Amino acid sequence: MNNNTIHIKINDSELKHRLDGFGEQFFKAKISALKHSAKVLKDSATDAFKSSGISNNPNPKYNDLLSDAIRISRVDEVDSAIKVHIMGVRSKGSGTFRLRFFENGTKERFQSQLKGKPLKKKRSLGQIPNGKYSFFDTSIARSESNAVSAFNETLQKYIERAWNNG
């Protein structure tokens, strides 16, 4: 009978040392990969916003630009998630809240008074049609595959570095 047995001897202490430090390194790698992929999505949304035709000029009423509404949230460590949104900030003097109206549209508004006196017939003030400037949803859909590949590349780079330096 032919006995082709291969014996591999692994130093348990070295393997345990590498695996103990690997859990923390994997967590850091996952967080970094999430941030990197969110940056890809944010850059894509910013480029789409710039090409949408919406004015990004400074408005004297507000202390920031409309493009500052495209933001990345903090990493949710429990769910391992990060969000890219156009909700802006709530700080005093910020006008970033306006960007969501360009994305989602508004209902038609009417003026019923002029200088405190009621009008006989309400006057239309207009509306932003739904989907006219829908730059955010389309840019996220287009760059989703790039964000996934950026996540995978960053995660792989960090894991290889942790394993080789362990």
Question: Quick one: pLDDT at residue 49?
Answer: 94
Average pLDDT over residues 17-46: 84
Q: Where are the alpha helices (DSSP H) in the chain?
A: 12-51, 99-104, 136-165
Give the residue extent of every domain in the chain.
Answer: 13-98+129-165
For residue 75, give the nearest of 37, 125, 21, 106 by alpha carbon. Answer: 37
- The model scores a pTM over 0.85: no
pLDDT band at 159 (very low <50, low <70, confident <90, very high): confident
- Residue at 88: amino acid letter: G
